[in-house]
Structure 1
């Protein structure tokens, strides 16, 4: 089964800062990122090599549409393009920001975030549970926002 997903910026940045960007390629055959997400991500790159190591990333230009224009009123360009791309291609979406997640869900998109990816990686034995927990804890320590209830739920799933 070919697994393809669209990704917003936050998860890319968090994984790249921890030198774990290649994890996406272990979970998915292709990770599609809109141009604006790529530009946001590229601006914060720690190491250009990590981008080369993540050979599953594809950058695409998102066509203008009335839905995209409406999304741009509510969200930043990267989030808006990621949601538009996932909706137009009927693909699942990796998105972490609360407002963007809410809008994506209202559009009927299948969504996940960094925490969900870490649980998936542990369940598929790509990461040990302790490794997934370490990535999550490091992200939280460096400003990744996760409600205490969701943090506990994810931690319980990683045990």
Structure 2
């Protein structure tokens, strides 16, 4: 799924951290009306820590466009293969009938099985470039990688191809 302009979304932990550490968390605010997270994701973000990106995430929560909300307990089948944050994010997306921003492969497989529409950070960056919010995707991916965010070389190349930056 491609992110649509100014809708509500649910987000998992990984993409939020990746965007925060690369200085691109603001893209969520520019592309969506509000980003909702379940409480388990809020806990995983470690907002009160000195981790990279924590200040940006805390600021987004204070501003209100990133908002933690209560979620129903996730189904046990989700918790067999996913961490609490991913399971709660999928559950919340299902109950709210909202798209889910998630990157982790197991989480995407589970979301698909649950009938949840989802997209990844790569799709979000491509949409941001199309809307001229960022000039290029590659520098953002480079910053994410430098901050420790893992992305497979084939997926990186696919994202760059789709962004029209297939020069690697």
CA shift, 1:68, in A, is 2.6
Secondary structure at 1:154's aligned position in 2? helix
Structure 1 range deviating more: 11-20 or 94-103: 11-20
Contact 1:21–1:51 at 8 Å: present in 2 too?
A: no
Contact 2:60–2:66 at 8 Å: present in 1 too?
A: no
Unaligned runs of 5+ in 2: none
Q: 1:35 and 2:39 equivalent? A: yes
Q: 1:5 and 2:9 equivalent? A: yes
Distance (Å, rounded) in 1 between the aligned partners of 2:84 and 2:92: 12
TM-score by length of structure 1 reads 0.87
Q: Partner residue of 2:86?
A: 79
Count of residue pairs brought into register by the alignment? 155
CA shift, 1:69, in A, is 2.8
Q: CA RMSD in A?
A: 1.9
Distance (Å, rounded) in 1 between the aligned partners of 2:88 and 2:13: 11
CA shift, 1:32, in A, is 0.4
Unaligned runs of 5+ in 1: none
TM-score by length of structure 2 reads 0.83
Q: Partner residue of 1:152?
A: 157
Distance (Å, rounded) in 2 between the aligned partners of 1:73 and 1:120: 33
Q: Note closer, same or farther for the CA distance 1:91–1:49 as it changes in structure 2 (3 Å cut).
A: closer
Distance (Å, rounded) in 2 between the aligned partners of 1:4 and 1:46: 22
Secondary structure at 1:143's aligned position in 2? coil
User: Which one has the bigger helix percentage?
Assistant: 1
Secondary structure at 1:29's aligned position in 2? strand
Q: Partner residue of 1:68?
A: 75
Q: Partner residue of 1:122?
A: 129
Q: Partner residue of 2:66?
A: 57
CA shift, 1:128, in A, is 1.0
